[in-house]
Amino acid sequence: MSGPNTDYDPVEVTPLHADEVDRRRDEALAAIAAATSLDALKQVRLAHAGDRSPLALANREIGSLPPQARKQAGMRVGQARSEVRSALDRRLAELEAAAEEQMLVDEVVDVTATLGDPPPGSRHPLTTLQERIGDMFVAMGWEIAEGPEVEAEWLNFDALNLGPDHPARSMQDTFFLDPPEAHLLLRTHTSPVQARALLTRPLPVYVLAPGRVFRTDEPDATHSPVFHQVEGLAVDRGITMAHLKGTLDHFARSMFGADVDTRFRPSYFPFTEPSAEVDLRCFVCLARPPAVDSCRTCKGEGWIEWGGCGVVNPRVLIACGVDPEEFTGFAFGMGIDRTLMFRHGIEDVRDMAEGDVRFTRAFGVDV
């Protein structure tokens, strides 16, 4: 009967040989020291501390040793593995700190950096033109009046001799506001400011009212649901059509130069009588054949509509409490967008509404 294998020499189990364990440990430590990135360290951890690493495999061999040999071998392998583990932890901490530092360098934000000169802003040319027109009339002794964009139906229509059943009421495609019984709308023209001025100001009245107006038009090159008008109203003793013509000619010359040609065309507005439409001679073809025939700007008309005007209808004066026996007046409503287009050769009204700074900047920093 053979006894237990007491003379079994653990040195003979190669992976547990002291030199072998040291060699594996040194290999692991060298690999850890050589790892220069977190990814590389991960690979090193797998290779030298993972389940299939040489030291882990050596550890498994311990069980096959005779009991008296296990303790020493266990200590040897355990010591080596713990050295490897703490080397891994130290290196991990080092590499993490380095990665963080690198991130701070890579993602640094220079809060003192300058962007060069910021591009100068500029005001919208419609605004500056509106103010220029205002200045011109103020220089003639007129006042600037304002009215709301959300307007009472009565002021937009009824006060201007456009009763509920008036056929001309549907000439202006109107945005009505809910609820209908409030009788509010987005003003379709600046003419309600005429009524507001007459109702609130002492006579005589010379007011200019520039502002935004709204109609349910589909936007295209010549239509926009939002555009700008400038309303003028003069009510005094002895005002005639001649005053209107003189004022508009002066207005036109100050906008388009001394050579500008205007013409009055008979027209109809319920709030003026007689009424006229004011046209400007087309600045591209000058209404001369043959250029006029193919002119895109005036569409072959030779003339471009600038706005409407007329002698204030006595019915409007009466609706606003003014005695038509004593006072007469004239009124006009010109398109500001058209004025800008005409002055600067702009061909598409949408350019004025889109807010592209490249369009605005072309007009300079006009303040």
Site for ligand PHE, rule CB under 6 A: 189, 191, 269, 272, 275, 307-310, 331-333
Q: Least distance to ligand PHE from the beta carbon of 207, Å?
A: 12
Closest to ligand PHE by CB, 302 vs 310, is: 310
Q: CB of 9 within 8 A of CB of 16?
A: no
Closest to ligand PHE by CB, 313 vs 360, is: 313
Closest to ligand PHE by CB, 147 vs 307, is: 307
Q: Least distance to ligand PHE from the beta carbon of 347, Å?
A: 22
The DSSP bridge partners found for residue 232 are: 208, 332
Q: Least distance to ligand PHE from the beta carbon of 355, Å?
A: 25
Closest to ligand PHE by CB, 15 vs 274, is: 274
Q: Least distance to ligand PHE from the beta carbon of 208, Å?
A: 12
Q: Least distance to ligand PHE from the beta carbon of 310, Å?
A: 5
Residue by residue, what is the 3-state secondary structure of the chain?
Answer: CCCCCCCCCHHHCHHHCHHHHHHHHHHHHHHHHHCCCHHHHHHHHHHHHCCCCHHHHHHHHHHHCCHHHHHHHHHHHHHHHHHHHHHHHHHHHHHHHHHHHHHHHHCCCCCCCCCCCCCCCCCCHHHHHHHHHHHHHHHCCCEECCCCCEEEHHHHCHHHCCCCCCHHHHHCCCCECCCHHHCEEECCCCCHHHHHHHHHCCCCEEEEEEEEEECCCCCCCCCCCEEEEEEEEEEECCCCHHHHHHHHHHHHHHHHCCCCCEEEEEEEECCEEEEEEEEEECCCCCCCCCHHHHCCCCCCCCEEEEEEEEEECHHHHHHCCCCCCCCEEEEEEEEHHHHHHHHHCCCCCHHHHCCCHHHHHCCCCCC
Within 13 Å of residue 34, how many CA atoms lie on the same side as its CB?
Answer: 8
Q: Least distance to ligand PHE from the beta carbon of 307, Å?
A: 6
Closest to ligand PHE by CB, 10 vs 333, is: 333
d(CA 178, CA 44): 74
Q: How many CB atoms lie within 10 A of CB 109?
A: 6
Closest to ligand PHE by CB, 130 vs 275, is: 275
Residue by residue, what is the 3-state secondary structure of 347-358?
Answer: CCCHHHHCCCHH
Closest to ligand PHE by CB, 273 vs 301, is: 273
Closest to ligand PHE by CB, 160 vs 292, is: 160
d(CA 332, CA 229): 10
Q: Least distance to ligand PHE from the beta carbon of 277, Å?
A: 8
Q: Least distance to ligand PHE from the beta carbon of 264, Å?
A: 12
Q: Least distance to ligand PHE from the beta carbon of 229, Å?
A: 6
Closest to ligand PHE by CB, 208 vs 287, is: 208
Q: Least distance to ligand PHE from the beta carbon of 256, Å?
A: 19
Closest to ligand PHE by CB, 190 vs 360, is: 190
- Rg from Cα positions in the chain: 45
